[in-house]
Amino acid sequence: MDTIQKLQNLDTLPTIPLTVQKVLQALEREDISAKELEEIIKDDQALAAKILKVSNSPLYRGGQPVVSLRQAVMRLGFVEVKNITLALALTQFIDNHQPFEGFDLNGLWLHAVVTARTAEYLAKEIGQDPEALYTAGLLHDIGRFVTCLYLPEDFSRLLKVARERALSLTEAEEILGISHEEIGAYLAESWNFPEPIVRAIGFHHRPSQAKEDVHMAGAIYVADAISYLLGLGGDPWRKQTTLKVPRSLGLSLDVIKKVARRLAQEKEDLVLAWGTVFTA
């Protein structure tokens, strides 16, 4: 039985909470107001508390503490509220699971957040949609989360092969016939994300195969590598010492260095902001 069939046979898979769906749908409207958004978010006390906590982190906070949802929405802006809401939604199904022995789940989560932010910055350099690339970056390793949390026997075998053969998790997946790219794309599609985001997730290690979405997948590939080079990777066995940039992206070395420097400056604040989401 292949991995996707195993997922289909599970009784439950992570779903996006209803409140979060409402927030994301509301933010698609051009006439949405801060008051309306506040009314939706406040119905979910856990989500509201986490938004306030993150908005008061050094990454987002201004001169005065944020004490209300309205203030948070006004200070952050709708795009940032959308990014935070989606990120916090994804932590909700992680919160309910025990950490996998021998694997740093929180480290994988921080890697996803940094990759998302890096992809957002790269988008502005290559003429892509920053919101879409942020989402794709955040979700790019969702397949690894799902393997760890919902297919623990497969993940245990994966860790064993990686340790014993000194391979990256992706290399170990190839040996075992598991693909976190394929699992992630399957889940993103089940959540009704746009096809370009699904393909970027499904081909972020093989961007040249993403067809018309090669630029999105390529940007995630680069963002993922930058995150590892900054010391925030989700795979302890992956040896990331160099960065190969797909020619199709048209990114110069100077641009890559500029984005990497910006992330290096934000790294500590990102860890402070997002390292708290598991302890609401």
What is the residue whose two structure tokens read 């990014």? Answer: 83
Enclosing H/E stretch for 199? helix 195-202
Q: What is the pLDDT of residue 1?
A: 59
Percent pLDDT > 70 in the chain is 93
Q: Which of 3-7, 58-62, 70-74, 157-161 has the lowest mean pLDDT?
A: 58-62
What is the residue whose two structure tokens read 């993922």? Answer: 224
User: How is residue 51 written in tokens?
Assistant: 């938004």
CB 263 within 8 A of CB 226: yes
How many of the other CB atoms lie within 10 Å of CB of 146? Answer: 22
Which residues are CB-contacts of 211 (< 8 A; sequence separation ≥ 6)? Answer: 199
Q: What is the pLDDT of residue 280?
A: 40
Summarize pLDDT for 141-154 with one digit per residue, the tens: 999 988 988 888 99
Predicted confidence (pLDDT) at residue 121 exceeds the cutoff of 60 = yes
- Domains of the chain and CATH, by start: 8-96 (no CATH), 100-280 (1.10.3210.10)
Summarize pLDDT for 187-223 with one digit per residue, the tens: 999 988 999 999 999 999 999 898 889 999 999 999 9
Compute the C-alpha angle 3/190/131, nearest 5°: 115
CA separation for the pair 24, 67 (Å, rounded): 23
Summarize pLDDT for 152-193 with one digit per residue, the tens: 899 999 999 999 999 999 999 999 999 999 999 999 999 889
Predicted confidence (pLDDT) at residue 257 exceeds the cutoff of 60 = yes
CA separation for the pair 248, 221 (Å, rounded): 12
Compute the C-alpha angle 118/128/186, nearest 5°: 75
Q: How confident is the model at residue 251 (pLDDT cuts 50, 70, 90)?
A: confident
Which residues are CB-contacts of 174 (< 8 A; sequence separation ≥ 6)? Answer: none
Predicted confidence (pLDDT) at residue 90 exceeds the cutoff of 60 = yes
Q: What is the pLDDT of residue 13?
A: 74
Q: What are phi and psi of 32, to 5 degrees?
A: -65, 140
Q: What is the pLDDT of residue 156?
A: 92
Higher pLDDT, 280 or 246: 246
Q: What is the pLDDT of residue 2?
A: 80
- What average pLDDT does the structure give for the chain? 87
Q: How confident is the model at residue 97 (pLDDT cuts 50, 70, 90)?
A: low
What would the mean pLDDT of 242-257 be, rounded to a whole number?
Answer: 85
